[in-house]
Amino acid sequence: MAAESVDVRLARLEGSYAQVSERLGAIEQRLVGLETRLDQRFTSLEAKIEERFARSDARMDRLDVRMERQFFWLIGLIVISLLVPITLRFLPLP
């Protein structure tokens, strides 16, 4: 009788282990699905960030060109404003 009770207990334990194994398998499948979705979202997020950086870089390039042009105009005006009084000083007045 003691042997039967041990067999019954072992059968119960085996059944419990089988249930735990099934539950862990289901959890593992859900985690794999979650990991796949997260990878897809991160990939999409990285693509969006790269696109924004590319647009920002293009905008900054245009801004650099504009600022460079404005800088040259400013330097030109400063040089002219310095040269005009000097040349007027040395030129004879009519």
Residue type, 59: R
- Taking CA atoms, 77 is separated from 14, 42, 84, 88, in Å, by 92, 52, 10, 16
**3-state DSSP percent of the chain in helix, strand and coil, to 5:** 95, 0, 5
pLDDT in tens, 23-50: 999 999 999 999 999 999 999 999 999 9
Taking only the tens place, the pLDDT of each residue in 71-83 is 999 999 999 999 9
Checking if the pLDDT of 60 tops 60, the result is: yes
Q: Locate tokens 């419990």: which residue?
A: 16
Instruction: Return the percentage of the chain with pLDDT > 70, whole number.
Output: 96
User: Which residue type, as a one-letter code, is found at position 14?
Assistant: E
CA distance 87 to 79: 12
- Whether pLDDT at 58 is above 90: no
How much is the CA Rg of the chain, to the nearest whole Å? 40
